[in-house]
Amino acid sequence: RYLIKERLYQLEKQLPTDFLRISHSEIINIKTIVKLKLTFNGLIQIKLDTKIKTYTSRRYVKQLKTRVL
């Protein structure tokens, strides 16, 4: 995890297409996704190759499905 001074929407515009915003506070590299799991409350649990687990917010579920599935 990294701390930056820029706003995420600004960083998001600068990153290559391999990166995807999954919440108001996270952007991930989609090439590092190992597993996706739908949770009971409609969120998607994302497991990365670094063994980190995170979740996409409901607002970004559609974008994740479009780009990854």
Q: How far apart are CA 40 and CA 18, in angstroms?
A: 27
pLDDT at 36: 96
pLDDT at 4 (0 to 100): 82
CB 49, CB 34: distance < 8 Å = yes
Q: What is the pLDDT of residues 32-41, one digit of tens each?
A: 999 999 999 9
Counting as low any pLDDT under 50, the low residues of the chain are: none
